[in-house]
Amino acid sequence: MIDRDHQLSVTRQAELLGMSRGAVYYLPRPVSAADLALMRRIDELHLEHPFMGARMLRDQLARQGIHAGRRHIRTLMLCMGIEALAPQPGTSKRKPGNKIYPYLLRDLAITRANQVWALDTTYIPMAQGFVYLTAVVDVASRRVLAHRVAITLEAIHAKEVIEQALAKYGVPDIVNTDQGSQFTAEEFTRAVLDAGCKLSMDGRGAWRDNVFVERLWRSVKYERVYLKAYDSVSAARADIAEYFDWYNKERPHSSLDRDIPEQVYINLLPQLAEAA
């Protein structure tokens, strides 16, 4: 973003980008091995008990002989992009400049493919460090339409993954996300709205809203990620892509009457449903 060989000074470039000069020269410290291990355990507990906030996680970890302060756990949760899935105060607060769209799925019968797509981002641990996984899921069929592994939570990754799904599978009626900063950023919301989709956002911390993607995260982590120790971002990308290919084409779902997502998606496409 900052070009040190540009004719404009670094200070002027930082001003134009709305950044402080100090931020340009700041080099983030790598996460310690102890914190990486703690983040991995927090992630596992979050999947098992998504209602747990920092205090409950602290107490649960202490029972397992892992001692960490509530504030430190909260800091790591923010770094991981997770929060307790429960009603919380201040749910109407919006980040400056980021519009929050209403939730559109309440009492909606989702019966066909490309009616509703859901997006979410989750933390993926590696042997050294971590990455973020964003996926687009067709709600009716549970099919993973597109995904991206990235090293940051920037909106550009959410924008590119939804554009990938739109280019390959067409335009859904509704795209549903949570209120994460990558999904409320204008570059993402504009990509969705310009495609002709309605944008729906969960209530902050509401467990019910994006439950379909939460189940996907549980599957991919317990069936693949936690069994591996990725030694590079490229290894994580390749392995997760392989898993999703298997997930779509071979993994039966009890919620789909033991059918597979890819076949259900094809069966529920509007033109095929009308022909039947």
pLDDT for residue 72:
95
pLDDT for residue 92:
36
The values of phi and psi at residue 147, to 5°, are -155, 165
Mean pLDDT by groups of 10 residues along the chain of 276 residues: 58 57 50 91 91 93 94 93 65 59 91 95 92 96 96 92 97 94 93 97 65 87 93 95 96 86 92 50
Q: Are 6 and 124 found together in one domain? A: no
pLDDT for residue 171:
97
Question: Contact 133/147 with Cβ under 8 angstroms?
Answer: yes
For residue 103, is it within any domain? Answer: no
Half-sphere exposure in the Cβ direction for 68 (13 Å, CA): 25
Q: Which of 135, 162, 166, 139 is nearest to 149 (CA)?
A: 135
Q: Are 10 and 42 found together in one domain? A: no
Q: Are 80 and 209 found together in one domain? A: no
Helices (H), the chain: 10-16, 21-25, 33-48, 54-63, 70-80, 155-169, 181-184, 186-194, 211-223, 233-249, 261-267, 270-275
pLDDT for residue 63:
94
pTM: 0.80
pLDDT for residue 14:
57
Q: Are 188 and 205 found together in one domain? A: yes
Q: Are 257 and 210 found together in one domain? A: yes
Q: Are 10 and 129 found together in one domain? A: no
Q: Provide the domain count of the chain.
A: 3
Domain that holds residue 167: 116-275
Residue 216, sorted as left (phi over 0), alpha (psi -120 to 50) or beta, turns out to be: alpha
For residue 245, is it within any domain? Answer: yes
Q: Are 148 and 248 found together in one domain? A: yes
Q: Are 80 and 129 found together in one domain? A: no
Q: Are 69 and 180 found together in one domain? A: no
For residue 104, is it within any domain? Answer: no
Q: Are 233 and 194 found together in one domain? A: yes
